[in-house]
């Protein structure tokens, strides 16, 4: 999809408005200019005139080539420290022809509209409240900003990662962006997206990787089927809307059947018995869904981790909906696929002589940014080969610190790496996660936008590809990672983990940490965390959370071992040096530390 310009064949100034193409479009100069001048393409671009410090002599032009240009001129003599403002109105609807306002009216109108817009956005972005100390407010502001950018980039129900190059809807981006929205209280936007996307499913059950104004993209990308199923189930986990689950069920069952048909292609006798093919056995075929393999399709574990996620969710849906036959069949598919997937990982590690989880069978490549999806949203922590998983993220931590500290030469990175922050928190490496998050926050350019482009160059002035900015798939990765600092759902034992990424400095600050209206799979969570004395941290938990089967795990933010815990005034025995396990909600918790411990 190539960008470009809109033709301007007629340009004129009248009634304090610049009129384009026989008054099809208008730019209203609410602040009246001293004059307006225009030029045709043959006369030269208006920028050439401006560079020479002059303007053409015509107030209206006709340009058959369609490249007319013009400028409004304001003749101001600004003294040091003086400021003036120009107000323009550029409506995206049929231009109005009301009498132009006076200067004072224009200023008042602009200020009124600005304040109304500010109030609207403040209300729209107030689903979740994060009251953090000053050192952490950039994080809270970045969450709100990226939520806003996600909503701005929407095209009707379509979630899009950008508004220029990426003005298309990928289910890959959309599923993870949906998870970010749901985790921050936005459900209707996700519902609309899935209801819009689902009918583009192909007759054979294949979920298209991408949809735009031309329709569904037929390129085979084998992560898409599991991602769609995951997004449907994630919506249910936050809303408990069984009616929506029933509505999506036909699409889900066809997607599972398509996954099974893909899998059968790697379950033939050749893949079961040929030693050179064992690592491929039971996986879905190679694809280019992982952008690193776009030049050559690979059997990527990115695809297969999403396939497993989809099969797990489809089996759960079937149980919820009382679909006994599909429930049994989908559970069998899930279990068989998981067995083949882990056998493949171990065989690939042996084949390439590596000690980390690989990115693709063929390459045995190191790709922690892709491996993160096995942890979240994959939920496979506890089943992944633990030594290899630990080595994957230890190796990433070494690379990260060398890059950050200038020990490695580097030109650019893609902020998709933000996903690693969430994995580090789930693995118990809070300090690593916070170091990485601080580094990535410095990659926000311009800093005041609280956003990331798709590529961050070490030298900000590098004239190279940036992608759309703000890039809201990356924004959604950040939101999911940032949310895990405050809460995350641990699938392996169905526990709700609170505060795993909160640093001691936040907890011991005069402001403490307050979280309000944070959605979880188990209900809405509020909590307040602050010092109640030099050796006591008080945590007040409220909301409508139902204690899950794995109970509530409250992580201690301090770098001091817990000596005692009280819940609702009574001693608690189920705690370790770093966490307390709660089976009561709401609760007032006191975390006690040894006196004088540094």
Q: Are 422 and 434 in contact (CB under 8 A)?
A: no
pLDDT in tens, 518-551: 999 999 999 999 999 999 999 999 999 999 999 9
Is residue 520 a part of any domain in this protein?
A: yes
Q: Residue 597's pLDDT band (boundaries 50, 70, 90)?
A: low
Q: What is the largest CA-CA distance in the chain?
A: 86
pLDDT at 128 over 80: yes
What's residue 1's pLDDT?
47
DSSP string, 540-565: EEEESPPPPTT-EEEE--SSS-EEEE
Least confident of 106-115, 216-225, 466-475: 106-115
Q: Are 12 and 59 in contact (CB under 8 A)?
A: yes
pLDDT in tens, 160-173: 999 888 999 999 99
- DSSP-derived letter for residue 11 is E
Average model confidence (pLDDT) for the chain?
95
For residue 569, what is the domain's CATH number? 2.60.40
Rounded CA-CA distance 162/143 in Å is 17
* Alpha-carbon separation of residue 116 from 89, 119, 120, 122, 123 (angstroms): 16, 5, 6, 10, 11
Q: Are residues 228 and 113 in the same domain?
A: no
Q: Residue 333's pLDDT band (boundaries 50, 70, 90)?
A: very high
What's the burial of 445, exposed, middle or buried (CB within 10 Å: 0-12/13-18/19+)? middle
Least confident of 13-17, 357-361, 568-572, 582-586: 13-17
Q: What is the mean pLDDT of residues 61-76?
A: 95
Is residue 159 a part of any domain in this protein?
A: no
Q: What is the mean pLDDT of residues 13-18?
A: 90
Is residue 161 a part of any domain in this protein?
A: no
From 331, 365, 399, give the residue that closes a domain.
365
Is residue 561 a part of any domain in this protein?
A: yes
What's residue 335's pLDDT?
98
Q: What is the mean pLDDT of residues 428-456?
A: 97
Q: Residue 406's pLDDT band (boundaries 50, 70, 90)?
A: very high
Overall number of domains in the chain: 3
DSSP H or E run through 212: strand 210-212
Rounded CA-CA distance 597/72 in Å is 68
From 99, 122, 145, give the residue that closes a domain.
122
What's the burial of 186, exposed, middle or buried (CB within 10 Å: 0-12/13-18/19+)? buried
Q: What is the mean pLDDT of residues 54-81?
A: 95
What's residue 2's pLDDT?
57
Q: Are residues 341 and 231 in the same domain?
A: yes
Is residue 244 a part of any domain in this protein?
A: yes
pLDDT in tens, 246-288: 999 999 999 999 999 999 999 999 999 999 999 999 999 999 9
Instruction: Outline where 405-429 has alpha helix (H).
Output: 418-426
**Residue positions counted in the chain:** 598
Q: What is the mean pLDDT of residues 483-503?
A: 97
Is residue 575 a part of any domain in this protein?
A: yes
From 92, 122, 152, give the residue that closes a domain.
122
Is residue 197 a part of any domain in this protein?
A: no
Percentage of the chain beyond pLDDT 70 is 98
Q: What is the mean pLDDT of residues 90-117?
A: 82
Q: Are residues 232 and 356 in the same domain?
A: yes
Is residue 58 a part of any domain in this protein?
A: yes
Q: Are residues 348 and 240 in the same domain?
A: yes
Tokens of residue 377, six digits: 């949203």
Q: Are residues 109 and 228 in the same domain?
A: no
pLDDT in tens, 130-178: 999 999 999 999 999 999 999 999 999 999 999 888 999 999 999 999 9
Selected residue with higher pLDDT from 5 and 415? 415
Q: What is the mean pLDDT of residues 336-346?
A: 98
434 SS3 class: helix
Q: What is the dihedral of CA 379, 381, 385, 386, to 10 degrees?
A: 160
Which of 430-436's residues contact partners 24+ apart within 8 Å by CB, and which partners? Answer: 430/500, 430/501, 430/503, 432/393, 432/397, 432/400, 433/481, 433/485, 433/501, 434/501, 434/503, 435/400, 435/401, 435/404, 436/400
Domain that holds residue 68: 10-122
Tokens of residue 254, six digits: 């066809």
Q: Residue 595's pLDDT band (boundaries 50, 70, 90)?
A: confident
Q: Are residues 232 and 354 in the same domain?
A: yes
């Amino acid at each position: 999809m190539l960008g470009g310009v809109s033709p301007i064949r007629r340009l004129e100034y009248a009634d304090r408005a610049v009129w384009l193409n026989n008054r099809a479009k208008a730019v209203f100069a609410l602040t009246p200019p001293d004059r307006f001048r225009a030029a045709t393409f043959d006369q030269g671009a208006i920028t050439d005139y401006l560079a020479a410090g002059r303007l053409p002599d015509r107030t209206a032009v006709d340009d058959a080539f369609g490249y007319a240009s013009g400028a409004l001129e304001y003749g101001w003599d600004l003294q040091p420290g003086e400021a003036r403002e120009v107000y323009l109105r550029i409506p995206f609807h049929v231009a109005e022809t009301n009498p132009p306002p006076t200067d004072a009216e224009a200023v008042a109108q602009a200020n009124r509209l600005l304040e109304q817009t500010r109030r609207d956005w403040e209300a729209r972005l107030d689903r979740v409240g994060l009251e953090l100390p000053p050192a952490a407010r950039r994080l809270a502001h970045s969450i709100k900003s990226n939520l806003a950018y996600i909503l701005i980039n929407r095209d009707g129900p379509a979630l899009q990662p950008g508004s220029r190059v990426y003005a298309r809807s990928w289910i890959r981006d959309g599923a993870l962006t949906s998870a970010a929205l749901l985790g921050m209280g936005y459900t209707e936007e996700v519902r609309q997206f899935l209801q819009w996307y689902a009918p583009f499913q192909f007759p054979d059950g294949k979920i298209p990787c991408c949809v735009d104004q031309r329709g569904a993209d037929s390129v085979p990308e084998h992560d898409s089927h599991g991602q769609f199923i995951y997004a449907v189930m994630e919506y249910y986990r936050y809303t408990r809307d069984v009616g929506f689950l029933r509505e999506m069920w036909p699409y889900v069952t066809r997607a599972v059947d398509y996954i099974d048909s893909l899998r059968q292609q790697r379950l033939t006798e050749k893949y079961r018995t040929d030693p050179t093919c064992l690592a491929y056995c039971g996986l879905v075929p190679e694809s280019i869904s992982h952008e690193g393999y776009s030049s050559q399709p690979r059997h990527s574990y990115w695809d297969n981790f999403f396939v497993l996620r989809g099969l797990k969710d489809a089996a759960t849906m079937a149980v919820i909906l009382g679909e006994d036959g599909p429930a049994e069949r989908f559970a069998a598919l899930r279990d068989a696929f998981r067995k083949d997937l882990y056998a493949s990982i171990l065989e690939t590690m042996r084949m390439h002589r590596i000690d980390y989880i690989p990115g693709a069978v063929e390459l045995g490549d190191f790709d922690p940014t892709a491996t993160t999806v096995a942890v979240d949203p994959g939920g496979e922590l506890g089943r992944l080969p633990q030594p290899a998983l630990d080595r994957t993220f230890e190796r990433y931590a070494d690379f990260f610190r060398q890059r950050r500290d200038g020990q490695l030469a580097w030109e650019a990175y893609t902020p998709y790496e933000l996903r690693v922050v969430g994995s580090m928190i789930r693995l118990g490496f809070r300090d690593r996660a916070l170091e990485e998050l601080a580094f990535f926050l410095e990659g926000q350019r311009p800093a005041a936008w609280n956003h990331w482009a798709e590529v961050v160059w070490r030298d900000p002035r590098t004239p190279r590809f940036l992608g759309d900015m703000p890039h809201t798939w990356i924004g959604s990765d950040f939101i999911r990672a940032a949310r895990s600092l405050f809460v995350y759902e641990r699938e392996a034992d169905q526990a709700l983990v609170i505060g795993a990424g909160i640093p001691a400095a936040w907890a011991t600050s005069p402001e403490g940490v307050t979280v309000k209206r944070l959605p979880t799979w188990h209900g809405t969570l509020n909590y307040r965390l602050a010092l109640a004395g030099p050796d006591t941290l008080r945590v007040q938990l409220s909301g409508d959370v139902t204690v899950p089967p794995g109970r509530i795990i409250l992580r201690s933010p301090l770098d001091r071992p817990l000596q005692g815990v009280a819940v609702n005034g009574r001693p608690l025995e189920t705690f370790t040096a770093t966490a307390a396990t709660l089976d009561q909600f709401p609760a007032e918790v006191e975390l006690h530390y040894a006196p004088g411990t540094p």
